[in-house]
């Protein structure tokens, strides 16, 4: 049994739980006013707190290897320092991806596998933050985690180079890891970075096309590459460090990808209707940037007057007075409802994949808690 479990389930010896059992536990609420359930509340919070405490010292140690100029940018980005270099008690993020690495390792290999996968967890967190530094530059996002983004403080070039350095650190951590799974993990993480870059390139290319020129399937594929790929890779790395069979590694990768796509769907909903006090970003930032997020594309391709109105709004530069009108058009055209329903469907698929690799609900509970945590967010 994984070490993070807080629930106790009993069943007759030799009886494997059905996929339906995990699906019932893994269903997500599509009403954003619903509060978190027992799995995605205390259990997920405990896992993330424990992982953050475990990963942060290793993360800081890895960053210390950077040259002084890059180290300063990186420390600022993680919230450890202010722009002037003085200490800060900032928010370094929720540590969802390293938590998936460690929890997957524990689910398939127990506490020893979890301990052995620490470097892999840090590597995944470094790659995640490499993408954040680059994304903020490309998207021109001015705030992240309730503070100015690195590029607004240090400039585009320095932020990009700091991100590049984090990616290199991640791959070096795995290259120097004596664990037998490290080579396979390094190759998988490198492939994931390529997929992330391809997804980001597709995203930027989509933004250059008109609102009537983008299909829903290609936006879903782009979102899987940008978001699902790294969550899937995190789960797969945990499985590799647990010495899991190939089919279990593949199943956990698929679990993470589906949960990641559900995460992106909810994130896109929050990007339009989220509260800036919780998100740390301006209200309607995605609409202001005319981003073709999943709810927007679903609305654009739905047909009908609301879709036509939204397409017309997206053809002209952003006007602050049109923000509410644009958000309402997305909602009236069904974009919000579609995104929430699609997120629920993706979570159901994720549970099917999880049941293949970790059929015992007790052992799967930590991964399920994390998946529910990221898809039940309401801010």
167 against 271, higher pLDDT: 167
Mean pLDDT within 254-264: 96
Cβ atoms within 10 A of the Cβ of 69, count?
A: 12
Q: Residue 14: inside a domain, yes or no?
A: no
Burial pattern 151-172, b for ≥16 Cβ within 10 A else e, equals bbebeeebbbbbbebbbebbbe
Whether residue 279 is predicted with pLDDT greater than 70 in this model: the reply is no
Q: How confident is the model at residue 15 (pLDDT cuts 50, 70, 90)?
A: very low
pLDDT of residue 20: 46
Mean pLDDT within 151-166: 98
Nearest to 44 by CA among 376, 270, 280: 376
Q: How confident is the model at residue 126 (pLDDT cuts 50, 70, 90)?
A: very high
Alpha carbon distance 379, 370 (integer Å): 17
Quick one: tokens of 344?
């629920």
Mean pLDDT within 243-256: 98
Question: pLDDT tens-digit profile of 306-330?
Answer: 999 999 999 888 777 788 899 999 9
pLDDT of residue 357: 97
Instruction: Determine if residue 35 is left, alpha or beta; phi over 0 gives left, psi from -120 to 50 gives alpha, anything else beta.
Output: beta
Three-state secondary structure call for residue 143 = strand
Whether residue 242 is predicted with pLDDT greater than 50 in this model: the reply is yes
279 against 163, higher pLDDT: 163
Whether residue 281 is predicted with pLDDT greater than 70 in this model: the reply is no
The DSSP call for residue 312 is H
Q: Residue 321: inside a domain, yes or no?
A: yes
Whether residue 347 is predicted with pLDDT greater than 90 in this model: the reply is yes
Instruction: Determine if residue 304 is left, alpha or beta; phi over 0 gives left, psi from -120 to 50 gives alpha, anything else beta.
Output: left
The DSSP call for residue 226 is I
Phi, psi of 148 (to 5 degrees): -60, 140
pLDDT of residue 356: 97
As beta bridge partners, residue 148 has 143
Q: How confident is the model at residue 377 (pLDDT cuts 50, 70, 90)?
A: low
Three-state secondary structure call for residue 163 = helix
Q: Residue 7: inside a domain, yes or no?
A: no
pLDDT of residue 296: 97
Please answer whether residues 239 and 357 qualify as being in contact, where contact means their C-beta atoms are separated by less than 8 angstroms. Answer: yes
Whether residue 28 is predicted with pLDDT greater than 60 in this model: the reply is no
Number of domains in the chain: 1
Mean pLDDT within 157-185: 98
Task: State whether the Cα torsion 194-196-198-204 is positive or negative.
Answer: negative
Nearest to 179 by CA among 101, 100, 257, 96: 101
281 against 359, higher pLDDT: 359
Q: How confident is the model at residue 139 (pLDDT cuts 50, 70, 90)?
A: confident
Nearest to 149 by CA among 87, 63, 83, 69: 83
pLDDT of residue 258: 97
Whether residue 352 is predicted with pLDDT greater than 90 in this model: the reply is yes
Q: Residue 10: inside a domain, yes or no?
A: no
pLDDT of residue 16: 34
Q: Residue 176: inside a domain, yes or no?
A: yes
Whether residue 240 is predicted with pLDDT greater than 50 in this model: the reply is yes
Nearest to 99 by CA among 78, 74, 62, 125: 125
Q: How confident is the model at residue 280 (pLDDT cuts 50, 70, 90)?
A: low
**SS3 readout for 84-127:** CCCECCCCCCCCHHHHHHHHHHHHHHHHHHHHHCHHHHHHHHHH
Whether residue 256 is predicted with pLDDT greater than 90 in this model: the reply is yes
Nearest to 183 by CA among 197, 173, 168: 173
Whether residue 25 is predicted with pLDDT greater than 70 in this model: the reply is no
Average pLDDT, the chain: 87
pLDDT of residue 4: 30
Cβ atoms within 10 A of the Cβ of 108, count?
A: 27
Per the structure, the complete domain to which residue 62 belongs is given by 19-375
The DSSP call for residue 81 is B
Q: Residue 149: inside a domain, yes or no?
A: yes
Alpha carbon distance 206, 222 (integer Å): 9
Q: Residue 226: inside a domain, yes or no?
A: yes
Angle formed at CA 310 by CA 307 and CA 315, multiple of 5 degrees: 125
The DSSP call for residue 148 is E
Q: What CATH number has the domain bearing residue 307? A: 1.10.600.10
Length of the chain equals: 379
The DSSP call for residue 23 is H
Percent of the chain with pLDDT over 70: 87
**SS3 readout for 176-224:** CCCCCCHHHHHHHHHHHHHHHHHHHHHHHHHHCCCCCCCCHHHHHHHHH
Q: Residue 8: inside a domain, yes or no?
A: no
pLDDT of residue 366: 96
Three-state secondary structure call for residue 225 = helix
117 against 379, higher pLDDT: 117
pLDDT of residue 288: 85
């Amino acid at each position: 049994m994984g070490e993070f479990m807080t629930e106790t389930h009993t069943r007759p010896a030799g009886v494997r739980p059905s996929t339906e059992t995990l699906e019932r536990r893994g269903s997500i609420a599509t009403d954003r006013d619903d509060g978190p359930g027992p799995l995605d509340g205390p259990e997920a919070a405990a896992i993330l707190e424990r992982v953050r405490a475990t990963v942060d010292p290793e993360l800081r140690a890895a960053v210390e290897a950077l040259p002084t100029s890059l180290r300063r940018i990186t420390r600022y980005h993680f919230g450890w320092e202010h722009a002037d270099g003085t200490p800060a008690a900032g928010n370094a993020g929720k540590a969802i991806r390293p938590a998936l690495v460690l929890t997957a390792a524990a689910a398939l290999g127990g506490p020893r596998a979890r301990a052995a996968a620490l470097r892999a967890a840090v590597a995944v967190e470094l790659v995640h933050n490499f993408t954040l530094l680059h994304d903020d530059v490309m998207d021109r996002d001015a705030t992240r985690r309730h503070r100015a983004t690195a590029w607004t403080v240090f400039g585009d070039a320095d932020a990009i180079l700091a991100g590049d350095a984090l990616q290199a650190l991640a791959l070096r951590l795995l290259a120097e890891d004596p664990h037998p799974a490290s080579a396979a993990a390094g190759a998988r993480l490198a492939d994931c970075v390529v997929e992330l870059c391809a997804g980001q390139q597709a995203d930027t290319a989509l933004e250059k096309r008109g609102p009537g020129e983008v299909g829903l399937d290609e936006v879903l594929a782009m979102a899987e590459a940008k978001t699902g790929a790294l969550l899937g890779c995190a789960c797969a790395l945990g499985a590799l460090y647990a010495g899991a069979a190939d089919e279990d590694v593949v199943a956990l990768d698929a679990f993470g990808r589906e949960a990641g796509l559900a995460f992106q769907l909810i994130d896109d909903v929050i990007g339009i209707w989220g509260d800036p006090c919780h998100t740390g970003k301006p209200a309607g930032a995605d609409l202001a940037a005319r981003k073709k997020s999943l709810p927007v594309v679903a609305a654009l391709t739905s047909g009908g007057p609301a879709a036509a109105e939204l397409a017309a709004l997206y053809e002209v530069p952003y006007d602050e007075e049109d923000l509410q009108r644009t958000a309402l058009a997305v909602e009236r055209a069904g974009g919000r409802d579609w995104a929430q329903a699609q997120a629920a469907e993706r979570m159901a698929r994720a549970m099917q994949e999880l049941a293949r690799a970790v059929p015992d609900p007790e052992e799967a509970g930590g991964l399920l808690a994390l998946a529910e945590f990221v898809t039940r967010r309401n801010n």
